[in-house]
C-alpha cells in the first residue's frame, strides 16, 4: 500500500483535467495487478501461455514438415520470433508483406530460397487466417445460441 500513497502524491501534481483520467488508469491497474498476483490467476495465465506457445510451435512445425524440409527443431521458434517481430511493425491489414518478409528472412537462415519461403508464408498465413475465421464463427454461433435461449 505504500506504493499507492506514492502514486496518489504524484497525481496531485497533475492538472485537474488529467487527474480524473490518471485516477481511472491507476484504479484499473490496481485491480488488474491485484487479480493477477493471486496464485490461481497467475497459474492460469502461465498454463494458458505455455499451451498457446506449444500450439504455435506445433503449427509452424507442421507447416514446415508439409513442405518436406528437414530443419532443426529450433527452426519453428526462429520463424515464430521473426513473425512476432514483424507483427510489431506498422503494417497493412493482414500483415501482408511483413508476414512474408519475416518468413523469407527466418527460413533463409536455414538455406531455404526466397521463392520456397514465400510459398510457405502464403500457405501458412492462409491456413492461420482460415483457422481463426472458423474459430470466430464457432464462437459467435455459440453466443447466438445462448442469447436465443
pLDDT in tens, 23-65: 777 777 767 666 666 666 778 888 999 999 999 999 999 999 9
C-alpha cell at 85: 517481430
DSSP string of 37-94?
TSHHHHHHHHHHHHHHHHHHHHHHHHHHHHTT----TTHHHHHHHHHHHHHTS--SGG
Could you count the other beta carbons within 10 Å of the beta carbon of residue 14? 13
Please indicate whether residue 1 or residue 90 has the higher confidence score (pLDDT): 90
Sign for the pseudo-dihedral over CA of 58, 61, 67, 70: negative
More confident residue, 69 or 21: 69
Residue 74's pLDDT is 96
Q: Is 124 exposed, middle or buried (0-12, 13-18, 19+ CB in 10 A)?
A: buried
Does residue 114 carry a pLDDT above 80? yes
d(Cα 24, Cα 13) in Å, to the nearest integer? 16
Question: Tell me, what's the pLDDT at 95?
Answer: 77
pTM over 0.75: no
pLDDT at 46: 87
HSE toward the beta carbon, residue 50, CA cutoff 13 A = 6
Q: What confidence tens digit (pLDDT) does each residue in 58-105 have?
A: 999 999 999 999 999 999 999 999 999 998 888 788 778 899 999 999
How many residues can be counted in the chain? Answer: 149
Amino acid at each position: 500500500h505504500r506504493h499507492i500513497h506514492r502514486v496518489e502524491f504524484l497525481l496531485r501534481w497533475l492538472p485537474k483535467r488529467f487527474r480524473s483520467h490518471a485516477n481511472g488508469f491507476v484504479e484499473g491497474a490496481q485491480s488488474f495487478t491485484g487479480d493477477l498476483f493471486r496464485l490461481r490467476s497467475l497459474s492460469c495465465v502461465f498454463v494458458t501461455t505455455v499451451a498457446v506457445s506449444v500450439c504455435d510451435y506445433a503449427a509452424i512445425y507442421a507447416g514446415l514438415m508439409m513442405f518436406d524440409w528437414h530443419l532443426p527443431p529450433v527452426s519453428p521458434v526462429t520463424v515464430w520470433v521473426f513473425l512476432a517481430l514483424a507483427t510489431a511493425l506498422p503494417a497493412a491489414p493482414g500483415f501482408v508483406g511483413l508476414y512474408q518478409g519475416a518468413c523469407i528472412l527466418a527460413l533463409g537462415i536455414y538455406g531455404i530460397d526466397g521463392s520456397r519461403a514465400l510459398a510457405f508464408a502464403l500457405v501458412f498465413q492462409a491456413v492461420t487466417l482460415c483457422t481463426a475465421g472458423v474459430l470466430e464463427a464457432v464462437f459467435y454461433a455459440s453466443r447466438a445460441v445462448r442469447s436465443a435461449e
